[in-house]
Copies of this chain bind each other. A is one copy, B any other.
Amino acid sequence: MSRPRNDTLLRALLRQPTEHTPVWLMRQAGRYLPEYNETRRRAGSFLDLCRNPQLATEVTLQPLARYDLDAAILFSDILTVPDAMGLGLYFAEGEGPKFERPLREEWEIRDLAVPDPYTSLRYVMDAVSQIRRALDNSVPLIGFSGSPFTLACYMIEGGASDDFRRVKTMLYERPDLLHHVLEVTARAVTGYLNAQIESGAQAVMIFDTWGGILSHGAYREFSLAYVERILGELKREYDGQRVPSVVFTKGGGLWLEAIAAAGCDAVGLDWTVDMGEARARVGSRVALQGNLDPMALFARPEIVAREARKVLDSYGPGPGHVFNLGHGISQFTPPENVSVLVNTVHEHSRRRGEK
């Protein structure tokens, strides 16, 4: 009943046939769009924008007004959950996200508690509901969260890191403590994503931005195991509709089979993986999302189109492909190239015949 009129994304994520390959872009509502920068100026800071459901709705819809995208994705930050856990998120100019109270002492870790998504993260749920109303069943809305390990990286390092020394020292020296952080965070993420689904998110994505810095063995134990636990407790159906899930581990190409077996409907791929090879490796177990190099958008239009077609041709015919970039779109991207990309994906996949 609340099925979007364009439901190609939802069908592709479930490996059902579609008339064209759906396309959306990670960070599609962002700084490469002048209208985003204008709204952000009005909001004050980036966090003010995230916390204002009205303005978050406005920026979520901006790329859909410009481009023929097949999905909207909630505008928010991946660090809202640890912020709601009391760590005090802030953004230092030009330095990225930081926490006022990173996890340094054992008692701080033992004190971590799961936040109620409907109180401390109310602004996110309000944004989800408002975006759904504004979309008016045109395209589906994707909700998201960072993975427990990715959140733990920021919670323990206190911000971005070159070497992840603190979190990895804990991993090797006190795995019990890191497991405790991950366990509490996994419960928090589960509640957060389920609340997004109850508020109107029609698909959910888990961003494991930093899983790829782990060793093969540690990835399974400290990242994938918690993603798997979340997937096992997500609402797979809501309001009579299946809610597909996507897991994206940047740098996780080596572990594709393991990720595909974690219980998600689709796996996001960065551009280091060949789509066709990835498809052969996962077979019919999951859909695949990706994976154009975001830097390809800096070339002239005919090259953008050629590179987009390469990704589509590498995946080949048949269902189960959602076109995306292999990482978030760069703030320096020429906006007109995004039109070329979106239109090429639609035209080339339609021309090739139904999927």
| Residue of B with least CB distance to A163 | B330
Say yes or no: is A303 at the interface (Cβ < 8 Å to chain B): yes
Say yes or no: is A91 at the interface (Cβ < 8 Å to chain B): no
Q: Is the interface of A mostly helix, strand, loop or mixed?
A: helix
- B212/A272 in contact, CB under 8 A: yes
Tell me whether A293 and B168 are in contact in the complex, defined as CB-CB below 8 angstroms, given that A254-B273, A303-B173 are known contacts. Answer: yes
Say yes or no: is A119 at the interface (Cβ < 8 Å to chain B): no
Interface residues of A in 190-230 (CB under 8 A from B): 212, 214-219
Q: In whole angstroms, how far apart are the Cα atoms of A206 and B349 in the complex?
A: 41
Q: Mark A295-311, 1 if CB is under 8 A from B, else 0.
A: 11011100100010010
Say yes or no: is A46 at the interface (Cβ < 8 Å to chain B): no
Say yes or no: is A251 at the interface (Cβ < 8 Å to chain B): yes
Say yes or no: is A136 at the interface (Cβ < 8 Å to chain B): no
Contact of A272 among B163, B165, B215 (CB under 8 A): B215
| Residue of B with least CB distance to A174 | B299
- B299/A163 in contact, CB under 8 A: no
- A298/B165 in contact, CB under 8 A: yes
Find the residue from A168, A219, A277 having the highest chain B CB count within 10 A.
A168
| Residue of B with least CB distance to A299 | B172
- A299/B173 in contact, CB under 8 A: yes
CB distance from A165 to the nearest CB of B (A): 6
- B295/A163 in contact, CB under 8 A: yes
Say yes or no: is A100 at the interface (Cβ < 8 Å to chain B): no
Say yes or no: is A332 at the interface (Cβ < 8 Å to chain B): yes
Not counting A217-B310, A251-B251, A254-B273, a sample of 17 additional A-B residue pairs whose C-beta atoms are within 8 angstroms of each other reads A165-B295, A165-B332, A168-B293, A168-B295, A169-B298, A169-B299, A171-B295, A172-B296, A172-B299, A173-B300, A173-B303, A214-B272, A215-B326, A216-B274, A216-B277, A219-B272, A253-B254
17 contacts between A and B (CB under 8 A): A163-B294, A163-B330, A165-B332, A168-B293, A168-B296, A172-B299, A172-B307, A173-B299, A215-B271, A215-B326, A216-B272, A216-B274, A218-B293, A251-B272, A253-B253, A254-B254, A254-B272
In the A-B complex, the 8 residue pairs with the closest CB atoms? A168-B295, A172-B299, A169-B298, A216-B274, A215-B271, A173-B299, A253-B254, A215-B293
